Chains A and B, each alone.
Chain A
Amino acid sequence: TAGITQAPTSQILAAGRSMTLRCTQDMRHNAMYWYRQDLGLGLRLIHYSNTAGTTGKGEVPDGYSVSRANTDDFPLTLASAVPSQTSVYFCASSDRSAGSEAFFGQGTRLTVV
């Protein structure tokens, strides 16, 4: 079972460029999330989606956008990358809304230079 697949695994991006981080799950989970993980700060929620067609802002949404056209895919877009967006990005999903076990992808390490 693939679970959650993120792509790319890592990327170096020039400041000002745009990029989309891909996330696909095959578990038919309703809820999906994007987190960023920075040293000493734990995992911080960027955006979430409780079901296809709906999205919501997390605690650090600025500079990021998401869409949820279907159940399986939840791409995260950086419209104009800045160095402070250098981080490890994790996509996660759960079969219900917040409070149930979330399954994580392997992460995307993004460096903005």
Chain B
Amino acid sequence: SAVISQKPSRDICQRGTSLTIQCQVDSQVTMMFWYRQQPGQSLTLIATANQGSEATYESGFVIDKFPISRPNLTFSTLTVSNMSPEDSSIYLCSVVAGQSGRLYEQYFGPGTRLTVT
């Protein structure tokens, strides 16, 4: 399995500012995703972070608002730009395991709890 860490674990930010969330994986992975989850609710895929190319965004999410970097196979960042209270949520990084016996299994980071005031 993959061990994923995220920084920060939580933050309280003022509207209009930006926050960059870091995701570090302990092994090289091909597929990395960013999700948003309201507490107790389902996960919404924001984008797929592609190594060496631009991220692939889901409907309703745009690069200007959620720029993503993926400089290598173990690290990615998600920035939440020009924040508003509606951006308050838990942001999750996840990766897909590629090892035999664990193929296609998705592993999640602990999440970043963001509150925008």
Genuine A/B complex: no
Q: Which residues of A contact B (CB under 8 A)?
A: none
Q: Which residues of B contact A (CB under 8 A)?
A: none
